[in-house]
Amino acid sequence: MSSGTALVQFCDFPSTELGHSRDLQGLREDRMKEFKGKVAVITGAASGIGRGIAERCASEGMKVVLADIEEASLAKAEMELKTAGARVLGVRTDVSKRSDVELLARQALDAFGQVHLLFNNAGVAAGGAPWEATWNDWEWVIGVNLWGVIHGVKVFTPLILAQNTQCHIVNTSSASGLIAGGGSAPYAVTKHAVVALSESLYLSLQQRNSLVKVSVLCPGLVRTNIGNAERNRPAELRNEPVAMTPERQAGLTAFKAAIEASMPPSQVADVVFDAIRKEQFYILPHPEWTEVIQLRTDKLLRMENPQNPAATVAKLISLRG
């Protein structure tokens, strides 16, 4: 195979589809502007960003399917949204399991008939340096953060495409998916992968002039329970207890304080819905983080070695706090 042939296959130019679809002017009319009566499916919906998005969906008059692994919080969120007048279905879902996501899709369609907005949002954090993160850390974080999004994309995209109507998929990554970092390797690896997956999904659908649009959400710090993700780690993937050193305690205390001072999920939801209306792919609720993103990009383009962004990140956090 020649290098030219390999490049064409890699870029996946759809030769049978480039010349026969709607013109670009017509595509502009396909933007999703109204949400009332439409259906949203949200993973990780019982708390944090997912809960903020669920509340925004309900306020828009949407029918909302809440998916989460944490049953008590899921039931509470479902009850509170129903009390506020929304049509809501709660489905306990472990996104790391394909069968759970397939069941989620069936229940969503059985209840409401269609899905117009899909938020692959569930996420966890664990581990440290690549060799220090345990096998359990790697398996758990990849299972939720990456396989969870893959399952959502693989299960829901064909169903959404078959509807032949305006729809939008939002995959939650992180600012950590756009920068170099030496913190949690499993987290950074999965968040970079979600950006790549989302870019591939966006371009593949664009090549087919699909009515289904895609965004990737890359927030900085948000007021969520991510620091307490261990509460949902499966028993079979738990680590042996580790002694709490003064250094570790100080780090956890500082992280908790930064989270408490960070952006509320409702504000992230506002940014997300604005991006959906604009068909904006990259969603950065914290524009100040572009400084850290630029740091990595500049190093890459100059073919220089990575630089730890910790000092710049700390500065941004202190300015917001």
* CA geometry: angle 144, 297, 173, nearest 5 deg: 20
Give the residues across from 170 on adjacent strands.
119, 215
When pLDDT is averaged across residues 12-24 and rounded to a whole number, the result is 42
Q: Which of 253, 249, 260, 182 is nearest to 221 (CA)?
A: 260
Name the amino acid, one letter, at 62.
M
**Residue 302, Cα to own-chain centre: how many angstroms?**
30
pLDDT of residue 260: 86
Q: Is the pLDDT of residue 103 over 70?
A: yes
* CATH class label, 23-244+264-287: alpha beta
Token pair of 239 as six digits? 């680590």
* % of the chain residues with pLDDT over 70: 89
Higher-confidence residue of 163 and 262: namely 163
What's the confidence (pLDDT) of residue 261? 80
Mean pLDDT of the chain: 90
Q: How far is CA 247 from the centre of its chain?
A: 31
Helices 98-112/148-163 angle, 10° precision: 30
The answer, yes or no, to whether residue 4 has pLDDT greater than 80, is: no
pLDDT band at 3 (very low <50, low <70, confident <90, very high): very low
Res. 29: pLDDT tops 70: no
Gyration radius of the chain over CA positions: 20
Q: Which two tokens stand for residue 288?
A: 């100040």
Interval 53-74 mean pLDDT: 98
Task: Domain ranges for the chain, please list them.
Answer: 23-244+264-287
CA distances 301 to 80, 284, 305, 306, Å, are 49, 22, 10, 11
Catalytic choice (187, 202, 273, 289): 187
Tell me the Ramachandran region of residue 85: left when phi exceeds 0, alpha when psi lies from -120 to 50, beta otherwise.
left
Apex CA 163: angle with CA 159 and CA 167, to 5°? 85
Residue 239: strand, helix, or coil? coil
In this prediction, residues 17-42 reach a mean pLDDT of 66
Q: What was the pLDDT predicted at 104?
A: 98
Distance CA 156, CA 164 (A): 13
Tell me what percent of the chain is helix, strand and coil, each rounded to the nearest 5.
55, 10, 35
**For the ranges 64-68, 219-223, 316-320, the one whose mean pLDDT is highest:** 64-68
Tens digit of pLDDT for each residue in 242-259? 877 887 777 777 778 888
Share of the chain above pLDDT 90, in %: 76
Between the alpha carbon of residue 219 and those of residues 88, 128, 133, 209, 303, the distances in Å are 26, 20, 24, 28, 26
Alpha carbon distances (Å) from 191 to 176, 250, 257: 6, 26, 23
CA nearest 260: which of 304, 176, 175, 320? Answer: 320
In the residue annotation, 187 being an active-site residue is answered as yes
Q: In which element (H, E) is residue 254 found?
A: helix 246-260
The answer for residues whose C-beta is within 8 angstroms of residue 274's C-beta and 6 or more apart is: 280
Provide the pLDDT for residue 253: 79
pLDDT band at 11 (very low <50, low <70, confident <90, very high): low
Residue 321 or residue 206, greater confidence: 206
Look at the chain and count its residues. Answer: 321
| pLDDT tens track for 123-134 | 999 999 999 999
